[in-house]
Amino acid sequence: MTGDDGRRRPGRPPATDFIPVSSKAVPRRQSLSKRFALGAVAVGLGLMVSAGATMPDGRPTPTGFDVPRWVTLKSSRVRARQGPGLDYRILWEYRAAGLPVQVIAETREWRKVCDPEGSIAWIHRTVASGRRTVFNPTTVEIPVHAGQSNDSPLRARLSPRATVPLDACESGWCRIRARKLRGWVRADAVFGTQGHPLCDAARPAGQGPARLPAG
């Protein structure tokens, strides 16, 4: 990962799946290893509008949608801003279409999001999609099983820093797919499934980590 000064940060091995951008590097979409090739089509789970939906500070959400909730980046070039408006400074640019991010606050036009690295930024609503994906934020492959059990047959492995479409989650497992292949991964092994806020909505936008404790 490159920092604001363009130099690679220590502590992370070089990776060809990262694109250095103005102040933040973000992963490209990859494929699953072996037989699970990543398709370009994401699967929409649909956003549920909840009566009386509120943000973490107790205010009603301007859109009526729940906060936190998950969205994906529509474009391979999404500008991340310091605040909810075009006059705010651009902090970095996401170059990972399909990357899941968690909405932790919002205005009618802008979404304050938490990304896989725990960084916080504002993005415009037009660059966010309600279609769902999951992301492997680790440096190791994640097993993709035929069923909702570690003992079920292994179908494939989700590559490190890979993004794939999400069908549904239940009982601690999530069904993912790419092209004609489907399989199950543990919900806690991927980014894009958590129901609790992952970043503190009260914190200003900027580089992470700004993650909240799990729970």
Task: Give yes or no for a contact between 98 and 42, defined as CB atoms under 8 angstroms apart.
Answer: yes
Cross-strand bridge partners of residue 70: 102
pLDDT < 50 stretches in the chain: 1-51
Last residue of a domain, which of 129, 145, 170? 129
pTM of the model: 0.74
Q: How many domains does the chain have?
A: 2
Q: What is the domain-level CATH number for residue 61?
A: 2.30.30.40
Q: Do 123 and 109 share a structural domain? A: yes
State the DSSP code for 87: T
Domain hosting residue 174, numbered range: 27-44+133-194
Q: How far apart are CA 43 and CA 162, in angstroms?
A: 16
pLDDT, tens digit (0-9, with 9 covering 90-100), for 144-199: 999 999 999 999 999 999 999 999 999 999 999 988 889 999 999 999 999 999 99
Which of 129, 149, 178 is the last residue in one of the domains?
129
Q: Do 35 and 65 have their domain in common?
A: no
